[in-house]
Structure 1
Amino acid sequence: MGFVHVYTGNGKGKTTAAFGQALRAACAGMNVFIGQFIKGMKYTELDVERYIPNITIEQFGRDCFIKRNPDKIDIELAQKGFEKVKNFILNGTYDLVILDELNVAIYYGLIPVSQVLELLEKRDKDVEIIITGRYAPNELLEYADLVTQMREVKHYYTKGIMARKGIEF
């Protein structure tokens, strides 16, 4: 039986936690799909497929993170990605499906929360699902079986430390 996890909040570590779970699942012989919404930049985690053959990763965004109103292309890329992962979730193609930054895509109106909840309700019940990103809507928090809130207490960014390869990207 698969459960729905939500990793949300303003603290660092949501994607990192999801990738840790992906690693654990893959090492247990499970097949994992990671769909990254609103991301199109080259992050080092994209190389995971070279090292672990039962993890597949795909990005559904542009080479910039949305910090404003989304453009039409942002909506199209997110919808296209959602359609792809929808098939995996309905058909049980993968044992674990991670929808990285889906909460942010919902927040910016790229994908309606109603569509996400409908998919979760109809999903293959053996598929484990992890949804990450800030701004998780209350409806999703209520639906999920597990919710983890990442809360920033202290961060070195405030001291001017920039993102570091292998740690933040």
Structure 2
Amino acid sequence: MEKGYIHVYTGDGKGKTTAAIGLAVRAAGAGKKVFIGQFVKSMEYSELNSMTLLKDSIDIELFGHGCFITKDPDPQDIAAAKAGLGRIKEIFHSNRYQVIILDEITIAIFYQLVGLEEVLSLMDERPYDVELVLTGRYAPEEILDRADLVTEMKEIKHYYTQGVLSREGIDR
């Protein structure tokens, strides 16, 4: 049984989810089964359309209720994120997946949809042979300390500052 590791992709730059999806595609190409849980997100982004092509290797579930980033989260946002954590525990115990991605989980912590201790506990429950990837801005130091690999995406320049909106297939 090969040991799995914990990855964190964080920072204020673009590309955290994209990096995780790239790893998922690579793992699928090697015959591994992948589960992606997208926290906070409830909209269908283009990467979900692509994953249908790999539906035999990659499963995706959304654990978001709606876009609350410009307002305080409501109880439904919190319930969706907490249900997502419960689902990840089930996924861990299924022994079905070799790679599990918790997309935007650190955003869920930052906005207090889930507690830091809950996520640290989940990290401790990770089966030995599972590769676990956590993404999102504002990754707490405690998560960085427990990770085996940390990549920080740093924004140097972004066309959003010039008024360019999110483009389908490129940014969403």
TM-score range relative to shorter protein? over 0.9
What are the ranges of 5 or more consecutive residues in structure 2 without an aligned counterpart? none
Among candidates 136, 140, 149, match of residue 137 of structure 1: 140
Cα deviation digits, residues 56-107 of structure 1 (max 9, x gap): 1111112325233210000000001110011212443211000000000011
Q: Is the 8 A contact 2:126 2:132 kept in 1?
A: no
Cα deviation digits, residues 136-166 of structure 1 (max 9, x gap): 0110010100101110000111111111111
User: Partner of 1:6 in structure 2?
Assistant: 8
Q: Does 1:61 align with 2:64?
A: yes
Cα deviation digits, residues 117-153 of structure 1 (max 9, x gap): 1121122110001000001011001010010111000
Distance 1:139 1:90, change over 3 A: farther
Q: Is the 8 A contact 1:26 1:54 kept in 2?
A: yes
User: Partner of 2:87 in structure 1?
Assistant: 84
Structure 1 vs Structure 2: percent identity of aligned residues?
51
What are the ranges of 5 or more consecutive residues in structure 1 without an aligned counterpart? none
Give the residue type in structure 1 aligned to 2:50: V
Q: Does 1:38 align with 2:40?
A: yes
Q: Is the 8 A contact 1:39 1:65 kept in 2?
A: no
Q: How many residues align?
A: 169
Alignment partner of 1:111: what SS?
coil
User: Partner of 1:110 in structure 2?
Assistant: 113
Among candidates 15, 18, 27, match of residue 17 of structure 2: 15
State the alpha-carbon separation in 2 of the partners of residues 122 and 56 from structure 1: 20
Q: Does 1:73 align with 2:76?
A: yes
State the alpha-carbon separation in 1 of the partners of residues 77 and 83 from structure 2: 10
Q: Say what the alpha-carbon RMSD is for the aligned residues.
A: 1.2
Q: Does 1:166 align with 2:169?
A: yes
Deviation at 1:50, TM superposition (A): 2.0
Q: Which stretches of structure 1, 4 residues or more, deviate above 2 A after TM superposition?
A: 65-68, 89-93
Give the residue type in structure 2 aligned to 1:156: Y
